[in-house]
Amino acid sequence: MSQQKIIIAVAWPYANGDLHLGHPAGYLLPADVMNKFQRLRGRDVIMVSGSDMHGTPVAVKAWKDGVAPQDYALMQHKRHMAVMQQLGLEYSLYTHTATEIHAQVVQQVFTTLDKAGYIIKQKTEQFWSEKEHKFLLDRYIEGTCPFCGFEKARGDQCDNCGHALTPDELVNPYSIFGDEELVKRVSTNYFLDLAKLQPLLEKHYADNADFKIWRKHVQATTQAWLAEGLMPRAITRDMEGYGVALPVGYEIEREEGKVTYVWFEAVTGYLSASVALSMLGKHKAIASASSLEISPLAIDEAALIPAVEALARGEDNISDTYAGQSLDWQSYWLAGQAKSYYFMGKDNIPFHSVIWTAMLLGLSQALGVSFNTPDILAANQYLNLKGAKFSKSTGNIIDTKKFFEEYGSDASRFFLISRMPENKDYDFTMQEFMDANNSELLANLGNFVNRSLVFWNKQFALAQSEKKFSELTIDSEVISHVDKAFADTAQLLEECKFAKALSVVTELGSFANKYFNDSQIWTVVKTDRAGAQVQMAGMLYLAANIARLLAPFLPEFSANVSGYLGMKIERPEVGRDDWKSLQLPELELDSLGEIAELKPLIARLEMIEEGNEENQAESGSDDQTS
Partner RNA sequence: CGCGGGGUAGAGCAGUGGUAGCUCGUCAGGCUCAUAACCUGAAGGCCGUUGGUUCGAAUCCAACCCCCGCAACCA
CB of 455 to RNA, least distance (A): 4
Q: Does residue 425 contact residue 418 with C-beta atoms inside 8 Å?
A: no
Cβ pair 259, 245 in contact under 8 A: yes
CB of 393 to RNA, least distance (A): 3
CB of 603 to RNA, least distance (A): 7
- Which is closer to RNA, CB of 59 or CB of 327? 59
Residue 414 Cβ, how far from RNA at the closest point, in Å? 11
Nearer CB in complex with RNA: 307/546 = 546
| Least spacing, CB of residue 2 vs RNA, in Å | 29
Which letter does DSSP use for residue 90 in this model?
-
Going by their DSSP bridges, the two strands 338-345 and 376-380 should be labelled as parallel
Residue 183 or 227: the one with the smaller Cβ distance to RNA is 227
Q: Please, what sign has the CA dihedral across residues 334, 340, 344, 347?
A: positive
One-letter amino acid at 453 equals: L
Give me the DSSP letters along 113-140.
Answer: HHHTT-EEEEEEEEEEETTTTEEPPGGG
Q: Is 181 helix (H, G, I), strand (E, B) or coil?
A: coil
Measured CA to CA, the distance from residue 245 to residue 251 in angstroms comes to 10
Q: Which is nearer to RNA, 295 or 510 (CB)?
A: 510
Rg (CA), the chain: 27
Query: Least separation, in Å, of the C-beta of 7 and RNA?
Result: 20
Contact 342, 222 (CB under 8 A): no
For RNA, the closer CB: 291 or 517: 517
Q: DSSP letter at 496?
A: T
Cα dihedral angle (75, 76, 82, 88), rounded to 10 degrees?
-150
Nearer to RNA (CB atom), residue 119 or residue 536: 536
* 389: CB partners within 8 A, 6+ apart: 22, 382, 396
- Least distance between RNA and beta carbon 233 (Å): 13
Q: Would you say 68 or 303 has its CB closer to RNA?
A: 68
At closest approach, how far in Å is the CB of 409 from RNA?
14
Give one DSSP letter per residue of 431-465, joined into a string.
HHHHHIIIIIIIIIIIHHHHHHHHHHHHHTTT--S
For RNA, the closer of residues 218 and 279 by Cβ is: 218
- Measured from the CB atom, the residue of 332 and 382 that comes closer to RNA is 382
Q: How far is the CB of 403 from RNA (least distance, A)?
A: 13
Helix then strand count (H, E) for the chain reads: 22, 16
To the nearest whole angstrom, how small is the minimum distance from the Cβ of residue 322 to RNA? 25
Half-sphere exposure of 426 toward its Cβ, with a 13 Å CA cutoff?
22
Smallest gap from residue 21 Cβ to RNA (A): 7
Between strands 426-428 and 383-385, the pairing is parallel
CA dist 509 and 377 (Å) reads 31
- Distance between CA atoms of 502 and 44, rounded to whole angstroms? 23
Nearer of residues 325 and 394 to RNA, judged by Cβ: 394
Nearer to RNA, 104 or 380 (CB): 380
Between the alpha carbon of residue 329 and those of residues 180, 297, 324, 361, 377, the distances in Å are 51, 11, 11, 18, 20
Rounded distance between C-alpha atoms, residue 243 and residue 246, angstroms = 9
Cα within 13 Å of Cα(443), Cβ side:
8
Taking each helix axis from N to C end, the angle separating 498-519 and 476-494, rounded to the nearest 10 degrees, works out to: 170
Q: In angstroms, how far is CA 183 from the centroid of its own chain?
A: 43
Q: Strands 153-154 and 141-144, how do they pair?
A: antiparallel
Closer residue to RNA in complex, CB, 279/547? 547
Q: 243 or 281, CB closer to RNA? A: 243
Min dist CB 419 to RNA, Å, is: 5
Residue among 122 and 510 whose Cβ is closer to RNA:
510
Q: How far is the CB of 164 from RNA (least distance, A)?
A: 6
| Whether 36 contacts 370, CB under 8 Å | no
Min dist CB 98 to RNA, Å, is 16
CA distance 572 to 39: 8
Are the CB atoms for 200 and 365 separated by under 8 Å? yes
Minimum distance from CB of 217 to RNA (Å)?
4
Buried b (16+ CB within 10 A) or exposed e, 330-347: bbbbbeebbbbbbbbbbe
Contacts of 534 (CB under 8 A, 6+ apart): 472, 473, 474, 475
The residue (of 25 and 259) whose beta carbon lies closer to RNA is 25
